[in-house]
Amino acid sequence: MDFKRVDELTAKLRTMRPLNETELKRLRGEFIIENTYDSNAIEGNSLTLRETALILQEGITIGEKPIREHLEAIGHRDAFEYVISIAGTNDPLTERVIKDIHSLVLMNDAENKGVYRKVPVTILGAVHTPPQPYLVGVKMEELIGAYKDIKREKHVIEAIAEFHLRFEDIHPFIDGNGRTGRLILNLELIKAGLLPVNIKFSDRRKYYDCFDHYYSNERTPEMFTQLIAGYEIEELERHIKILDR
């Protein structure tokens, strides 16, 4: 694993002058647009990066694209801003926070937003079946409790990666699980003093392979941990390069 490199770069970044408010706002805005595009595209949203930027920055409606896709972009943006707003408190992750994030992600579905699913689901192409709906609440409570122990025992990136894999395994909501899970992942990275990462649409095959590896290898999170560590190193190096200028 690249944990040593992550720790070295994080330490270096902390010794450098912080970005000023204007720089930080610009970088954050760019990241949110890119992350919104990629996270939604992974789930089948057809908006391009440019169209996503026009919707979020200019409030422009893309004529040939469904309103649902516009709302998915706006909801994800609002959810990411919510994540940033609560990350500084460093409070433990709770089911309430997860449901609040999901409520923003699924802003266009009043009936299901922030509510655990009430029906069985299957994931096409997956090698596992999520638990029955009556077990979802129990499984989520168990996961939140286990996560506290995992963080004490493992490097924070490995702990966050394992949480994400287990969260998606439970698949607690009828829709929006992937987007919500990736937002939680970034919430926990920011709380740990790391940078948020963007799992790119172009890397979606690698991302899906991490789940297959997890389910086929006694639920070991190494492959996904490595993917997240690689993204984290990229973000750290990018920020350091900007500050070196």
pLDDT of residue 86: 97
Does residue 213 carry a catalytic annotation?
no
Predicted pLDDT at 21: 85
CA distances to 198, 209, 225, 231, 234 from 2, in Å: 18, 19, 9, 11, 12
CA atoms within 13 A on the CB side of 227: 24
What's 108's DSSP letter? Answer: T
Active-site residue, selected from the candidate residues 155, 164, 171, 239: 171
Residue ranges in the chain modelled with pLDDT below 70 = 1, 125-127
**Rounded CA gap, 175 and 116, in Å?**
10
Q: What is the pLDDT of residue 126?
A: 66
- Domain range for residue 133? 3-244
pLDDT at 90: 82
Contact between 24 and 178 under an 8 Å Cβ cutoff? The reply is: no
> What local confidence, expressed as pLDDT, does residue 23 receive?
85
- What is d(CA 179, CA 108) in angstroms, rounded to the nearest whole number? 14
Find the CATH number of the domain harbouring 96: 1.10.3290.10
Residue 17: per-residue pLDDT: 83
Which pLDDT belongs to residue 2?
Answer: 79
Domain count, the chain: 1
Length of the chain: 245
pLDDT single digits (tens) 123-182: 776 667 899 999 999 999 999 999 999 999 999 999 999 999 999 999 999 999 999 999
Q: How far, in Å, CA of 116 to CA of 107, rounded?
A: 15
CA distances from 133 to 14, 136, 140, 177 (A): 44, 5, 11, 14
Nearest Cα neighbor of 76 from 47, 35, 29 is 35
